[in-house]
Structure formats: C-alpha cells, structure tokens
A and B are shown apart, each in its own frame.
Chain A
Amino acid sequence: MIRRDEFASIANNGLWKQNSSLVQILGMCPLLAVTTNATNGAMLSLATLLVMALSGAAVASLRHLIPHEIRIPVFILIVATLVTMVDLAFNAGLHGLYLVLGIFIPLIVTNCIVLARVEAFAAKNPPLHSALDGVFMGLGMLWTLSLLGGLRELIGAGTLLSGIELVIPGTHALRLLPEDYPGLLLASLPPGAFILLGCLIAWKNWMEARAARAKRPPLPHSPSSPAPAAAGPQG
C-alpha cells in the first residue's frame, strides 16, 4: 500500500513542483498544436494520462524482468503498444474528437514526458506508486493544457470549450465575450501558445518566489540579501 506522505509527494510533484508543461517543458509539440481550445487540450491530456498511468503500472510490474541493457527498447515497446490501444479506443468510441486530435494521439509515444516518467520513476518504484505518478503527471498536464487552451480560445475568439459537442453530444461551446468581439488571431496561432505559456511559467515562478519569501523571514541588517532563486525550468 501507499503511505499518506508518499501520496502527497507524488501528487504535489505531478500537479505543481515537476509540472510537465510548466517546469519540465516537455511535450511542446502537442501543446502548441492542440491547445487551440480547452476541450482539445483536456482530451489530449486525458489520453496522455491514461497512457502514463498504464505504462507506469506495466513497467513497474515488469521491472524485475527487464534486463538493464534493453530497458529502453522494452519501455518504448510497452508505451507504443499502450498508445496504439488508446488510439484505437479513441477512434472507436470518440470518432469526432479523434478526427480533431488526429496525429497527436499516436505522437504521445514521442512525448518525452511518458518515457521520462517510466525511466525516472516506474523503473524504480512499485506499480501502485508508478500508476499514481502517471495519473498526477497527467493531471498536471491536464490543468495546464486546459488553462492554456481556454485562454487561447477566449482571447482568440471569445468562446470557451468549443468542440465540447464532439465529446458530449448535445452540449455547445460557451460564448463569454460579446458576439461582435473581433478576436485576436495571434492567440489562436502557435506563437500565441508560446507567449501565453511564457506568461503561465512566469506566474508559477512568481507564486513560488512569493511562497519562498513568506517561508523565510527577512534577515535583519541585510537589505541587500539576494532574493530567493525562483524555480526555473529544468530539462
């Protein structure tokens, strides 16, 4: 079983401290391409979450059987099999959305975050921990990509959750800004994703710097003490 503090640490790592998009800056290609709205970002994250949870559990269960020298081909084999199964399941169950996400589902194989977590975490930890690590890494990606997608479509077109009807038939996108909002094309195009991602990273670093300042009381008689270093992107 899993201890409470282990659970908390895995959750915190995935959601915030080692957030795949904001800290590790991994998976930029799908991030740029699919976050044109919140729905696509959320659905691709869910597919990635599923792959990461399953591959984490699979690799962790098999970790004593995999010789060290061939671990990378075996990991890729496991991840690629799971991605193809998720791809087939999407195609069968959510065909409309499958057409939108298209090539990006098979490309989950090449998303470094999946292999990175398998190699860095699942190869050294028990299955339950590894599956949870995959789930929380995926949830971290989920909130980041949904927020980014939501911001992009809100600024770009004034709507939220467009394309939701492909996931839940009968629903429709929310129009948050007035009908005559001209839209800001930049936000819908890939450069807009980079600019907004930069803003999100800056916001996260600012939050962390503020938290670090609050934890460490200002030292007396040292007005020129260096500010606590903000957590920068790693990797």
Chain B
Amino acid sequence: MHGPQPPMPGTTPPAPAGVIGAAAMARCTALILFVFVIVFTGLLAGAYRLTRPAIEASAREEKMRLINEVLPPGSYDNDLLADALALPATPELGLPDGGQVLRARKQGRPAALVLEAVAPDGYAGAIRLVLAVGADGRLLGVRVTQHKETPGLGDYIDPNKDKNKAHPWIGQFAGLSLADVPASGWRVKKDGGRFDSVAGATVTPRAVVKAVKKALDFAAARGEALYAVSAKEQP
C-alpha cells in the first residue's frame, strides 16, 4: 500500500549522520508499516469470522420480520427464504436490475407471492415496497421498506411514522384485488379513485397506489408461472 518514503525535509528530526543510511531507514519504516498492516488485517479477519453467524442470523430475522408484516405467519408452511426465485429485470415492478420473489406455499399448494416493487415517482425519489399477493389475487399486505419522502409530511406511507395508528394509511390495501376494484379505482380520491391521501402530500400516495396496481397486474399475469418454477430449476 505505502511504499518506502524518503524522509521529508523538515518533518523528521535529523538522524545522526553516518549511523544509518536514508535507504536503510526507509526500508525499516516500510517494514514496520507492513507489520502493522498484517497485524490489523488479522484482527479484522478474526472479528469478521466471530460476528458473521450473528450478522447472517439478524439479516434473516429482519427479512422475516418484514415478511411477517405483509403475510400472516400461519398462512404458509414452507421455508420462505429457501423458496426464493431471482427475477430478471422486471419493469412491471419497477425493478430494472431484477429482484426476488418468495413463494409461500401451504401443504405444497400456492398460498401467496411476496414481491418487491419500486415506485419510481415518489416526491423525493424511489419508494421501495414489499407486498404479498395471495394465490386468489388478493393483496394480503403492503409495506414500505425504503423511501426519502419528507419527514412529517409524506412519510405517513410508513405505518411507524403514520399519525393515524389505529388505521394506518398503508392498511387500506389489505384484502383488495383487481376483481374488487375497477382499473379507474386505483387512484387517490383526489384523482377520482378510492384511496385516501393527506392534503398537501398527494404525490407520495399516488406513486404507491400506482406501483401496487402494477404489482397486482404482474402477479395476475405471471403468478402461475412463478409458482411453477422450483427454486432449484432457476438458472
């Protein structure tokens, strides 16, 4: 990383002339630095090995916690994270770089799809969502996983930030399906649809509603094919 450096004038106390040459001193300094790098890299490697199992477990737990918010834990009996399917680039879900679908099954039969989706047109950039769509085409739940909407204004799409704790905004989606709500209903009330929004922050819910509708369309069109591919078959 750092090669031997000649001592810069003015920064080093003058070495007794003739005792050790500048080149020998530079070699010695480089060696010391090298030893430090080896020792501290070793420490890091040790810390990484020690913490890796706990980090992997908490990442899994975090993922399951989120999934359990959109998907009732009793509604499936397979190991969800093992039944994941990698998606190629999917513009229908707003995933230009691809994503992941989890298949929930009960006694081997399809129960629900857990999809990632991105609403690209939030007020402050993309809004990432995770949603569960039952095998009957009903939305089981929607959650926002990442957004940059204005704190205190547009962030009510996140139930933890929503001031209405009893009926958080994002809860409106649960139980709806394309069959219940006509295409024109998938808008906020201000635009003539059926979804509430908070005055002064309409861009945010508009983006979320649009992304949810698109994800439902995707699940309706591709759902059966997605359940059919086994996790091992995928490329």
Contacts and interface: CB of A to CB of B under 8 A. Distances in A.
A84 B44 CA distance: 7
Interface size class of B (residues with CB under 8 A): 20 to 34
Nearest to B11: A69
Task: Please report whether the interface of chain B is mostly helix, strand, loop or mixed according to DSSP.
Answer: helix
A203 B119 CA distance: 45
A78 B32 contact: no
Contacts, number: 71
Interface in A62-79: 65-70, 73-74, 77-78
A123 to B, nearest CB: 14
Interface string A168-201: 0000000000000001010011000000000000
Interface string B92-136: 000000000000000000000000000000000000000000000
B47 A88 contact: yes
Interface residues of A, number: 28
A228 B127 CA distance: 54
B203 interface: no
B190 to A, nearest CB: 21
A226 to B, nearest CB: 39
Given A84-B44, A92-B58, A73 B2 contact: yes
B7 interface: yes
Nearest to B41: A81
Given A70-B33, A77-B36, A92 B7 contact: no
Interface string A74-114: 10011001001100110111011001000000000000000
Contacts of B32: 65-67, 70
Nearest to B37: A77
Contacts of B47: 84-85, 88-89
Interface stretch (B148-156, B179-187, B205-213, B219-227): B148-156
A170 B95 CA distance: 36
Interface of A: 36, 65-70, 73-74, 77-78, 81, 84-85, 88-89, 91-93, 95-96, 99, 156-157, 183, 185, 188-189
A81 B8 CA distance: 27
Given A68-B12, A74-B36, A156-B152, A95 B29 contact: no
Minimum-distance CB pairs A-B, first 8: A92-B54, A95-B58, A92-B51, A88-B51, A81-B40, A85-B47, A188-B151, A91-B55
A188 B150 CA distance: 10
Contacts of A69: 5, 7-8, 11-12, 29
Contacts of B8: 69
